[in-house]
Structure 1
Amino acid sequence: MTTPAWDPAQYLRHAGHRARPFTDLLARVPALPGDRPRIADLGCGPGNVTTLLADRWPTAHITGYDNAPEMLDRAHVEHEGPTAGGGRLEFAPADLRTWTPGEPYDLIVSNATLQWVPGHADRFADWTAALEPGGTFAFQVPDNLDAPLHTLMRDLAAGPRWRARLAGVPRGTGTVHTPGAYLDRLTRLGCTADVWRTTYFHVLEGEDPVLDWAKGTALRPVLTALADDPEARDAFLTQYRDLLRTAYPATPHGTVLPFCRLFAVAVREAPRPR
């Protein structure tokens, strides 16, 4: 899979819709063990949702980690520094394929990132081992690789015109596990786990809003692969746009984008009192 180049401004065009699952995830996180909790946000992007952690835990020391320099630059400029509740918000580079916590955490959280990390479930052991007793590991990932948003992109990329340059470039199936697989993995690591799915029906506005949505996330590998050929890039986008218009037709109240997401909240069991 092509390592995508990210565009914070494009990603933030649908910030409200993208932040809602993170808000729903945080609502299921129980009280943290520390009075001044230490929190890691894995795949923080431009930092806009990392700030929600400071709203929930005002005294926390929060570090957002990401491997995209474009995203981190925006996060540093717009969000880094002391928080109103006496905590601190900071950002640092990290590759989640190898990142291992260097200190204990009360909460490790990830929002719509792990689907980009090959073998991410194999990292859970290191991450949960770094939790304070009673600490939480929580994440959400898109769980819609069978939706037209993705299948049309993959089929187009594998077609006669594009396969030489794009076959295998869009994110494929198998990058997200089943709810049962995550539940099994987390419970085997000594956590009490809660795993569920939610389908959102986002009502998007504007011209070709589903294409605009995809430009911020799913299309990034394709856009990166065609970055040196604007004519080919525009031709692919036109074909994909036309397919999306049929799959997600405009209505009088906007264009509806059904979007399934998978959530998990795992609490590391505290030692029982003797």
Structure 2
Amino acid sequence: MSLSDAQLDRYARHIVLKEIGGEGQGKLLAAHVVLIGVGGIGSPALQYLAAAGVGRLTAIDDDVVSLDNLQRQILFATGDVGRAKVEVAAETVAGLNPDVRFEGVRTRLTAGNAADLVMGADAVLDGSDNFATRLIVSDQCTAARIPLVSAAIGQFQAQVGTFRGWEADAPCYRCFVGDAFDAEDCDSCSELGVLGAMAGIAGSFAALEAIRQVVGFGGNATGKLHVFDGLAPGMRAIRIVKDPACRACGAQAMVNGS
């Protein structure tokens, strides 16, 4: 892909990086990234992906902006309370980068619509707030062979992991959390609280991982869960092992899905 003069100027700081260059920026402009949720994690992730020049962004969220979102969801302002989050997101992306085609889907992702919603994506970034949605997203990404970047926050902790469960020895998100017997039982920020800046750390890190999946630079983070402790502060990485009996990416599941 040849870049226009305006694009060469806009993305100059990417292009001078040997790990990205003009070729990598072309990959970003041709890429499609799907975001699940434009809340605390999705807010910074969406803005960094749009600024980076990801050519097509799809955001899936059925929620409206509430006053208690504003402590951590930096995409929104006080005047946005009551508006659909994807509507505000569309305006923000349009003002940020004309190279980006944005689609806001105001719906809740379910097992019935997941395949259509993520179809054709080069990467999926999941910032949803419950295990039920996360497992649906993970299973669909594994089946469709789409890299999944999963991010979560709670209190003073942020977690970001990259999953490519269709690959040999690479786990999926289900390998990490199991079948989540009570998939709706997920601690929420409203119950436990969360430091707003933790959302910025998780969302920015997740955007970086999505960009790395598209362009293909740096070390291999597949199957690693990066945990940031805001109290220490510090970060550690945990290696997640593929579960051979996983019903989404285990040996038998791959045979059945092939």
Q: Which has the larger radius of gyration?
A: 1
More strand by share: 1
Indicate whether the TM-score tops 0.5: no
What's the TM-score once normalised by structure 2's chain length?
0.40
Higher RCO (CA < 8 A, seq sep 6+) = 1
